[in-house]
Copies of this chain bind each other. A is one copy, B any other.
């Protein structure tokens, strides 16, 4: 049994690069940007009028002139016009180009207009005022958005401005979610006394949707031969398999042996944590691949039997088939109890995904809201209700009825991660927290 830290490190050593795809701007929200976005022009691209009002030659105001005959209008969206007589002014609209031969904008609020003459009502005017100077925000060629940024509404606006109707983003892994367990029936069925409806598969699919991953889902009966045949197909078609159930010590927990028989290399089974202990994790190695799939170049030849993630990453992009981005398949086989499946997806699959698509891993922390003790030498993922108080994030533990108590997830917002080397946890102490709301 390995520690949570070792398990996570093993998983993070097995990240994959699924390459890049180009998608339309409005589909890109929530995806990870895979190009540098530069300013295609200066920002703003011209000396831009920043207030509705009049534009004048500042030198004349400085020399004492305060009334200006209106010579024309410069609207937003019109080509730049020129002030012909420096003693005149031009009415200007926010967003318009500053007219030639003008150098200050006075807003309508500070001007009186009568009979085509604008008279300035204030004394303090600065050269260049109310002008958003060309290139002031960004110069042409400046970096606007770095690679590996999650695209939010803020980025969408910038991408639109520089004309990115197509955006390069990290390709998503192709994921299959598989549930097992003969006690499970469909959501729209009435379970018999000894049956229950499926839930984990829906939960996992939803958790993947939060990452903008559209996954497939399947259920396999507890029959070793069927399990083996189906998984064999999935290993060929998917980058990632997420299982819930069939990884413990039961007579029908065939999953670990089936996976190993199919050439999936077990990297660990069982993690010192509660809940979620019988978690099995493995990766297909390149021996399991058909001949033309095997990397031919020198560097990968010398490491065919290892999980050489670093090498694969740089090569996988151009070699993937249309269905599957990567040669390797990563297998997360979570224990079937609902809370176990849930916390393991958040604690392991999420960081794996984030690192795979190039995001920095960030650890959020919360302040424990009450004293508690936990004796076993295991990491304790404790369900908590989170509250914001005066800029603090406080976590109030909620003890459910164990890892089967699915309904308790509705009452909480996350899991506080209490380390295995302590048994007493004091109110006010700070620990990592995994939020799911």
Contact = CB atoms under 8 A, between A and B. Distances in A.
A191 B160 CA distance: 12
A327 B71 CA distance: 47
A223 B382 CA distance: 60
A144 B107 contact: no
Nearest to A37: B410
A407 interface: yes
Interface string A308-330: 00000000000000000000000
Interface stretch (A131-139, A296-304, A352-360): A131-139
A136 B400 CA distance: 10
Give chain A's interface secondary structure class.
Answer: loop
Contacts of A96: 183, 194
Interface stretch (A11-19, A56-64, A87-95, A229-237): A87-95
A48 B195 CA distance: 10
Given A45-B196, A132-B404, A160-B187, A202 B75 contact: no
A393 B108 CA distance: 42
Interface string A178-192: 000111100111111
Interface in A77-98: 77-80, 91, 93-97
A102 to B, nearest CB: 15
Contact of A388 (B145, B184, B202, B364): B364
A390 B202 contact: no
A50 B404 contact: yes
Interface in A200-234: 200, 202-207, 209-210, 222
Q: Please tell me the size bucket of the interface on A.
A: 35 or more
Contact of A50 (B53, B79, B402): B402
A117 B160 CA distance: 72
A35 interface: no
B95 A160 contact: no
Contacts of A393: 388, 391-393
A235 B241 CA distance: 49
Contact of A193 (B79, B192, B437): B79
Interface string A362-394: 101111000000000000000000001111111
A78 to B, nearest CB: 6
Nearest to A186: B165
Given A52-B249, A367-B391, A393-B393, 16 more contacts: A26-B202, A43-B407, A45-B191, A50-B404, A75-B182, A76-B181, A137-B404, A138-B407, A153-B342, A154-B436, A159-B202, A160-B202, A163-B190, A362-B388, A365-B390, A366-B391
30 contacts: A29-B206, A48-B404, A73-B251, A76-B182, A79-B192, A79-B193, A94-B337, A107-B249, A108-B249, A132-B402, A137-B405, A137-B408, A144-B407, A144-B410, A149-B410, A150-B437, A152-B437, A153-B209, A154-B203, A156-B202, A157-B206, A158-B409, A160-B198, A161-B196, A161-B197, A163-B188, A163-B189, A163-B190, A367-B391, A388-B393
